[in-house]
Structure 1
Amino acid sequence: MSPVVALRLPVQIDLSAFLALLLRLQVPHRVTEEAGEQLLWVPGEPLAEQVRDLYARYPQGDPAAQQSDASPPVAGFVQSLKDSPLTTAMLGLTLLVAALTLLGENFALIHWLSFVDFRIQGDYIYFSYLRETLQRGQWWRLLTPMLIHFGLLHLAMNALWYWVLGRRIEARQGPWMLLGLTLVFGLSANFAQYLYAGPSLFGGLSGVLYGLLGHCALFQRLAPSAEYRLPPGLLALMLGWLLLCMTGIFELLQLAAIANAAHVGGLLAGCLTGLAGGLLARQHR
């Protein structure tokens, strides 16, 4: 059955509550943006007529659900966790590892999660090479560095942006796609940092985040949708932060060591997946 435009509304209108109502009613739909308008598509004209009638009666969504939401901050957050299970699980795993590693202080555990193994002897740290690590069958190290965080600020910033970006991808393309992209971007970021800097200790979700950013930005450019609309200024903010980090100012001031190659590697991988996914979605549309 061919998709039909059920609603054509200005982009300024917030459809989130009405879309939530459609989800609760299990109405298949998708939203796109064209020429400053947002289009709500459903399969077939009969269903489109029902959706138009439903919107005429409940443009703000289900009133019963709104009235039952007596404590919106708590209830809304809990519902968001349920609506984004993969994003929630990924952040839960990240927080667990942060607690077990004492935010980068527990080297006895960190050396099992780093990209290559290492040992500390006196004031020196000795790293293995990747070939030795893989020969021992320690393949999990290719991914686990993205779970390591050094300090509360490092963890908080990465967790926040993964929540912002991950939920968008999970809502638009599903949890399995988000999981696949997270793994691909994690691999790309870790390999890029290793190839650039050699054996070293690095970690964090930031390489994955730049991959998610590139994916969302290009996908949205090629196949606009309400789910992939980024917060105003986010793209400029994160790209500006990347350029600032690449100047080496933080290392010069001895504030932090930034894994810039991981950021760039994740971003390039995200641009490729966003380009491919956006072109496919545009062709399908």
Structure 2
Amino acid sequence: MSPVAVLRLPTQTNLSGFIALLQRLKVPHRVSEEAGEQVLWVPGESLAEQVRELYSRYPEGNDDAPLEASVVPGATRPGFIQQAKSNPLTCAVLLLTFIVAAITLLGDNFSAIRWLSFVDFKIQGEYIYFASAEQGLQAGQWWRLITPMLIHFGFLHLAMNSLWYWELGRRIESYQGALALLGLTLVFSLASSVAQYSFSGPSLFGGLSGVLYGLLGHCWIYQRLAPNPAYRLPPGVLVMMLAWLLICMTGVFELLQFGSIANAAHVGGLVAGCLTGLCGGLWQRARR
């Protein structure tokens, strides 16, 4: 079922109350910004007509109104296929991640990993020898600045990062658009990789987790400055993610020999995300 534009309103129009009402009614929807307007989308023309009627009666959301006075018949939660169609960039990043995971054998194919790692390396016997980032840039290997986010070591590493990117990526793509999500993903990948390289020097690291902390920080600060339903994270998510970051920084996992964790990448991504959330939230707040 193709998405249908229900409303096209100036960006200064506050839709948060009406969006909250749609969420209460479990109406599938998304909001994007196009050509200076915010556009509300729903799947199907029949549902679009009902939502238009609902908006004509409750443009501010009217949270005190009884649900039975404003129920949209037939509204259901969107299925996985519908969500995938509505968030193509999120799916594209995840698909590319899965392809790289297959090619690199989840971290076992070092001949493939060396082309995607932040710095090149070679293995001789029991030793690994790293080049420097400067050597890679001088050789024109600029892709190394962002491709570490595609490398994962083990199925659990891939599964956890993919699930969180699906959750956070869809929120940003539905509210700010695919180009914004792409730009933020690349910026956070760069920031997290540079932070990790600056902290640990030439080493082998990878994964989407630095990007995820960037997306988390972006949603967190943006929501604080310009509240919107899309960036309203479930209770406890922020606390859990920050607590996990602090636990990882204690070094307990290295002590238990569970493997090294790129803590600097997580911190770098989080700081970058807070900065973009600050800029985006202030800009959106000013427009309102």
Displacement over 2 Å in runs of 4+: 1-23, 27-30, 47-63
Q: Deviations over 1:66-103 (max 9, x none)?
A: 5xxxxx8xx70111100111001000100110011110
Q: 1:51 Cα deviation (Å)?
A: 2.3
Q: Secondary structure of the equivalent of 1:103?
A: helix
Following superposition, the deviation at residue 249 of structure 1 comes to 0.5
Tell me, what secondary structure is at the counterpart of 1:275? helix
Residue matched to 2:155: 152
In 2, the alpha carbon distance for the partners of 1:228 and 1:114 equals 32
Residue of structure 1 aligned with 2:80, choices 77, 80, 98: 77
Percent identity over paired residues? 58
1:99 equivalent to 2:108? Answer no
Are residues 1:227 and 2:244 paired? no
Offset of 1:256 from its aligned partner? 1.4
- Match for 1:223: what amino acid? A
Q: 1:136 to 1:172 in 2, by over 3 A?
A: same
Residue 178 of structure 2 is aligned to residue 178 of structure 1: no
| Correspondence 1:204 to 2:204 | no
Matches of 1:234 and 1:82, distance apart in 2: 26
Unaligned runs of 5+ in 2: 1-8, 41-50, 60-66
What is the aligned counterpart of 2:92 among 71, 89, 93?
Answer: 89
CA offset at residue 20 of structure 1?
2.7
Select which of 241, 244, 248 maps to 1:245.
Answer: 248
Matches within 5 A, 1:6-155: 8=17, 14-15=23-24, 17-18=26-27, 20=29, 51-53=55-57, 59-61=70-72, 63=74, 66=76, 76-155=79-158
What residue is the counterpart of 1:33 in the other structure? none
Contact in 2 for aligned 1:17/1:60 (Cα 8 Å): no
CA contact under 8 A between 1:219 and 1:275: conserved in structure 2?
Answer: yes
User: 2:163 and 2:271 mapped to 1: Cα distance?
Assistant: 21
Q: Which amino acid aligns with 2:23?
A: D
How far apart, in 1, do the equivalents of 2:168 and 2:71 lie? 25
1:275 aligned to 273, 278, 284, which one?
Answer: 278
Tell me the TM-score normalised to structure 1 length: 0.82
CA separation of 1:16/1:239 partners in 2, compared to 1, >3 Å: closer, same or farther? Answer: farther
Paired residue total: 258
- For residue 208 of structure 2, what is the amino acid of its counterpart? L
Indicate if the aligned counterparts of 2:192 and 2:266 stay in contact, CA closer than 8 A: yes
Question: 5+ unaligned residues in a row in structure 1: which ranges?
Answer: 31-46, 67-71
Could you tell me which amino acid in structure 1 is paired with residue 116 of structure 2?
L
Deviation, structure 1 residue 222: 0.5
Alignment-derived partner of residue 34 in structure 1: none
Question: Could you tell me whether the CA contact under 8 Å between 1:209 and 1:266 is conserved in 2?
Answer: yes
Q: Is the 8 A contact 1:116 1:127 kept in 2?
A: yes
Q: CA deviation at 1:5?
A: 6.4
**Cα distance, 1:5–1:110 mapped onto 2, change above 3 Å:** closer
Deviation for aligned residue 1:61 = 3.8
Q: Deviations over 1:16-55 (max 9, x none)?
A: 64463999xxx9556xxxxxxxxxxxxxxxx987723499
Paired letter, 1:221: R
Distance in 2 (alpha carbons) for counterparts of 1:107 and 1:183: 24
- 2:253 & 2:83 partners in 1: Cα distance? 35
